[in-house]
Structure 1
Amino acid sequence: MALIDVNSKRFKNFMAKLYGWGAAVVILGAMFKILHFPGADIMLIVGLTTEAVIFFFSAFEKPHEELDWTLVYPELAGMEDPDTEYNRTTGLTATQELDNMLADAKIDGALIDSLGEGLRNFGDAANKLNSTVEAAAATKEYGEQLSLASKNMESLNALYAVQLESSANHMEAQNALIGNLTSTINDSEKLSSEVTSLVSNIGKLNNVYGGMLSAMNINKN
């Protein structure tokens, strides 16, 4: 009679409880060590020892058996690995049938290479299309910049026209002022000439008056 009946329900219940108790002790030991609680070394030793005991008893457990699910689901009966499953009619595996189908469809290595080359060409065309799209975007941006520059040039032209008109008005005002100054100078020259003539006439009148006074004095004598 075996000392421990690993197939008994009692042993299975004991192992279930042992796993739970052992895990709790191991976690407590790790917590004490991580948080540096007093007695952390002892708790860690107890936890690891408990884990070793659990592994020791688990060695006596019966290996897990695969259940026969066909007893519950009969439709699963006869299912095997797809790579090794044989067709009951042709006697060929699924891989062999696939090879025959490819051969019947004339799909060989050359066709696959051609398909790969076509995909690569498609990728190259897509890259070129991306380049074209980027160039179109750059052209559009350049056009927008030209339009903005044109608007700025129009604004500068309008400002230049205003400045030019203002300069012309200023020039006309200067010309008018110069004309007025010239007229004033001419009038001053005329006034000076008339004053000179007046002084000359007064001098002549003084001479005449002086002569008359001299004549009157002579007659008195």
Structure 2
Amino acid sequence: MIDQAIVQFDRALRTVFAPARSIRPIPGDDVPDAPLDDAQKRHAAALMRINHCGEICAQALYQGQAMMSSDPVIRKALERASHEETEHLAWTEQRIAELGGRKSLLNPLWYGSSLAIGMLAGKFGDRWNLGFLAETERQVEAHLHGHLDSLPAEDRKSRAIVEQMKADEISHADTALKLGGRELPTPVKAAMKLVSKVMTRTAYHL
């Protein structure tokens, strides 16, 4: 138990504070930067900061859910999705820097609260655990779709990153459902949307 606690604490520190790395090429990395004015850069950087926060939360959710799952197949699926979310961290982190922005000051808070939510979801059993994962990814997909509508049309680099993230989130939701995820009750979905809205509005500025 002590060894596992140390491993999980180390993972949390690396997720929140260490630079993330990507195995896959960064989407849009070969696309020339468009000439954006200061307001467009600030807006794009804020949107990418929200996406970065979302990936911090995803890492913690997957970690908490995997810790509580008793099924090795499900744990492996969660870990595989977590690796892709780590790549999303790297992509958004680099784009934030390119736009002259900064990461959220509240990332430790986002991580800790999401880890607790992931562990709570895991306590209800694997089918509800997977259902929670699927609904999370659906809501992230919708949120990314909104960002594609909001990003400057000229910012092809940011848009390429968001497009690939969106495709990955759809894949994660499909995997969760194929593994037996259950549809969550409407009140739970509504509560998840409310929490997400608070996080995104806060992360846009902080």
Max Rg structure: 1
Structure of higher RCO (CA pairs closer than 8 Å, 6+ residues apart): 2
